[in-house]
Structure 1
Amino acid sequence: MATAKNRAIDLIRSDEVRTRHLARLRIEDERIVLILRFLSGLTTAEVAAGFLIETATMQQRIVRAKQRILKTGIPFGRPAPAELGDRLPGVLRVLYLIFTQGINATAGPAHTRVDLQHEAIRLARLLVGYLPEQTEARGLLALLLLTRARETARVTPDGQPVPLAEQDRSLWDSRLIAEGIGLVDVAAGEPGAGAFTIQAAIAALHADAARFVDTDWKQILLLYRVLSGLDPSPVVALNTAIVLGRVSGPEAAMSALDQLADDTKLLRYRPFHIARAITLDELGRTAEAEDAYAAGLECPGNDAESEYITARITELRR
């Protein structure tokens, strides 16, 4: 009886801890949403796209977040030193989402927004300067630099997107690549390395490959599987499926993508449909590939990318 009682107390305590943890995560998400909307200047639709939800749902979340903060009196201000560890993940995520919107805009005429890329990198540099001991801050900065290094090759002179396999790697910024690899080489060996550092390591492997065919896809797949354990998000699952296709062929990729087809968040995520279309085309399933591209056009995205998708549909119909 005593053992059962003690076990019950432990379970109650663990449930209380889990509830408090979930509450903190909810508050952190609400802070992130408000920062992106009101400090970063992103529209509600752009914030919603970053979270892979409908704009109306995000609008409701923003309203609830403001009401919760007013009701509970959650303070905004500089955190005390003891609070930095709890606040840092949210700040890193904000910078990452700003940069992501800059690297692949979910609205507007242009495929990329260089202003957002520069601002995210500027803020990441400031953060690393203030907190040089924080591994994930350096890992995030490395990721942003290595991704930014490919910017010139990611779009044509008239602004059309260029897939990674077709990019002219001589246009990649060697200075940013060297800085990014230097950061990630150190961060990856530290105990605090997390999801952003692993993503930076993946970006470094892409940067190391002189040609697309030289990419170490097996190592990248291994890193994505590690990343899945730290960040089991739909986007990570999608990227893992894509890389699996590079290692094991389009059939394996298609099987993995089919397993993700019921994820409501991915169904409104344009890269998911593009990945399916490319894989279906590789398998010779042209009509299905066309349908997948068409589904992608229904998702949030920029005009340049929409033109690219429309061109791919036209090619499939020839």
Structure 2
Amino acid sequence: MKVITARKYGPPEVLQLEEWETPSPKKNEIRVKIYNTSVNSADWRIRKPDPNLARLFFGITKLKQPILGGSISGVIDSVGENITKFKIGDKIFGSTGLGMGAYAESICLPESAVITILPKEISFPEGAALPFGSLTALDFIQRCKIQKNQTMVIYGASSSVGTAAIQLAKHFGAKITAVCSKGNFELVKSIGADLVMDYEEFHSDSHNKTYDVVFECVGKSSIPSNLKHLTKGGNLVLVAAPFKDMFKAAWISFTRKINIKFGPIAETIDNLKFLAELTKKGNFKVIIDRSYPLEKMVEAHRYVEAGHKKGNVVIHCAT
């Protein structure tokens, strides 16, 4: 099978196409023929690494798992003898978690992985794009306990997490202000944003409005600039906070009793099924910006790392 490996840390060019033996599932595993995966911010940050402290988790001098990628859609083509939830031929989608391994034509996963049946109403590319940003947005929104008519500003609203957060917060009844570049205003309005503003307006002296939830998706605004717009008793969400901001947020939360949400999310099958149901009914739209073949992974990483994608970037693996 074809795989894309990162044998060392570095720029997109460290990604290489290799031929590996197709794995066989263990007793409690399924094997998925991967039709699609996606490239997201976590992928390029691990590859780089950004921050350098990521080496403590993924390998000091090189990646312990050379195959990146955390989301898949595809078809089960082999099962272990103890499998009860799935069968050969099932179309599935979901997350591979910290084990990664999705930049490949096949992968073996435990039956207990965060995967579920792909509804017929959802395409394979949509299924591969759905888990990362949407599971992240949903977990943070649940932690904020969003209530109907609460106000929420989403910074980096055209990102994969941002486009998901708009739709999910809207589903729970929030009033959404989307912050993104002017070229993405129509996109975010089309998926539910009530108001839009660009980054310059958000940071301007004339912007003095406060919100029940400040949802920072891209790690490009400071904690003080976000707290300035947070209603007393509200929630600040830092989706992509660097480690130094996490420490700062933890200190502020402790000393000033301000609700700041950050850190790893909980990926659950229940949340994945919830997202699938919303999408199946047409109440959630998966935004796909660009698609690349597996062999063009370097180009895909360059584009995603540049920070201008709208929604998700999808990779075509096996067919």
- Higher strand content, 1 or 2: 2
- Higher helix content, 1 or 2: 1
Q: TM-score range by the shorter chain?
A: under 0.3
- Structure with bigger RCO (C-alpha 8 Å, 6+ apart): 2
Q: Which has the larger radius of gyration?
A: 1
TM-score by length of 2: 0.25
TM-score by length of 1: 0.26
